[in-house]
Amino acid sequence: MIRSPKAGTRHLDRLKIQKKILFFSLGLTCLLWAVISSVSAAPPVEEPAQVDFVAPPAPAPVMLVEPVAEAPLNPLAELITSSAQIPEFPPNRRTLYKIRETMRHHWMLTRLDEQKVNCNIYMSSTGEPADREVLGFCGMQVYHQWLGGVCKQTNDRETPCEGLTLHYIGPIEEELDVSIKLPGAVAYSDLVNCAPWGTCAEQPKLVFKGLEPLATHQISLVHIEFEDGQEFVCADQTCLVTLPFTTADGMEATYYVSSSYGDDSLKTTFQYRNVGLGDGTYLFQLIGSEWDFYVPVGAAHWGFFPELDIHLTPWLDEVRSPDELYTTQDYAFLAGVYILRGDVSASDCSDGGLLFNGAASACGIERAREQVIEAQNRFDHQILTAANNNQIPPKLLKGLIGQESQFWNGWVIKGEYGYGQMTDELSLIHI
């Protein structure tokens, strides 16, 4: 909350800004700590033209499934093509058991004088054992004897060896059960005729596809299930679906594919909203990891759709450039700081440009307008970067900073710090 820089004045007399819960969870409060040194300002709210919304017809139209054909050229072709993000095959989804025949060679070290077998050596390669095999199979004591010399007992040797003796016993054939981990099938979806967030001239469609990594198998079925109970199965590798209408709250959809291998892919779930508009177009919005880049960061992170009247939630507006964060708010206390510091002259104002609580008067605000606008837009690039890195709507972050500090980090308030006037006591957050 903004405090007057004058001693004894802690609450605003003329500018009382009531705090609201700006986050839907305490997790968002923790995220804001990551951007405590960034700066931001209250976004301008422009009222867009009112749009008449048409309620979905009842009953909702049955989902249409169409054969996949070449899509006609349309202005969304580049976006739609680039949106196809084929996920990697999930590893270790399948286990293949095979019996593999193998052969090992058996060698033995003995001592005639000790009348015992010192050790057995088994090697998968041909040839006599080397130092490392002897050390590994026989241990340090026998290895030291080996280094001192070894006699090789062969069938054509006339006299038996004395001391440490190496014998070749022969090959051993074995059957081993070997388990091989194989990747599983994968399901994915792609846009057809509409962008993932906005209005569309046609009823939105999605194509659902599957990929099978094993050359000897193929995708046999594509399953799509909707939250309202609608379900369809396509006996093919692809399935083109005209999406049913939803309410303003949207609907959840889940899809997966079946393979001739005998298993199913992992299930993928997303949310979508498809509402008919009064002008014959459709409000179409998707929330899912495949489309995060195209979806406003707040909707993508929190998994909810904004109000149909988007002007009611301007802080959720999509921001792609720092220029879109530009604001021209009249911050009275920030203007007052500039006048008190002598950075701005308001000597021609009848009240000296200041009110009794340190905020700038109307005349003072006018004199400091250029500096105030420059200050509130000075860190737009950093605000956008910090907001995107922490999945916070950029206008929300800038508005928070504008409300809390008016882009002046010099307020001396116990327990509150920086441009966001952050506190480490969550109990100080009030509705």
Q: What is the DSSP string of 363-426?
A: HHHHHTHHHHHHHHTTTHHHHHHHHHHTT--HHHHHHHHHHHHTT-TT---TT-BTTTTB-S-G
Mean pLDDT of 20-26: 36
- Smallest CA-to-CA distance from 429 within 404, 399, 392 is with 404
Task: Inform me whether the pLDDT recorded for 360 exceeds 90.
Answer: yes
In the structure encoding, which two tokens stand for residue 423, read together?
Answer: 């506190």
Question: Residue 224 has what pLDDT?
Answer: 95
**Is pLDDT larger for residue 190 or for residue 2?**
190
Confidence (pTM): 0.50
- 89 to each of 68, 169, 184, 221, 320, how far by Cα in Å? 23, 47, 6, 17, 32
- What is the C-alpha to C-alpha distance for residues 126 and 310, in angstroms, rounded to an integer? 76
Q: Number of H helices and number of E strands within the chain?
A: 10, 14
**Is pLDDT larger for residue 397 or for residue 95?**
397
**pLDDT category of residue 299 using cuts at 50, 70 and 90:** low
Place of tokens 């804001």: 32
Three-state secondary-structure class, residue 144: helix
Place of tokens 């679906």: 241
Mean pLDDT of 372-396: 88
* Number of other residues whose CB lies within 10 A of the CB of residue 147: 12
Domain boundaries, the chain: 26-48+318-428, 64-90+183-299, 95-180
Segment among 22-31, 132-141, 145-154, 226-235 with least mean pLDDT: 22-31
- What is the C-alpha to C-alpha distance for residues 159 and 161, in angstroms, rounded to an integer? 7
User: In this structure, are strands 205-211 and 238-242 parallel, antiparallel, or unpaired?
Assistant: antiparallel
Question: Residue 422 has what pLDDT?
Answer: 72
Query: Is 2.60.40.10 the CATH number for 64-90+183-299?
Result: yes
Question: Residue 61 has what pLDDT?
Answer: 36
Segment among 144-153, 343-352, 372-381 with least mean pLDDT: 144-153
Residue type, 255: Y
- What is the C-alpha to C-alpha distance for residues 32 and 420, in angstroms, rounded to an integer? 9
Mean pLDDT of 302-309: 72
Question: Residue 359 has what pLDDT?
Answer: 93
**Is pLDDT larger for residue 412 or for residue 87?**
412
- The gap from C-alpha 342 to its chain's centroid, in whole angstroms, comes to 47
Contacts 24+ apart (CB under 8 A), 301-309: 301/391, 301/392, 302/24, 303/271, 305/248, 305/249, 305/250, 305/271, 305/273, 307/248, 308/51, 308/53, 308/248, 308/275, 308/283, 309/50, 309/51
Residues contacting residue 84 through CB under 8 Å, at least 6 positions apart: 188, 190, 191
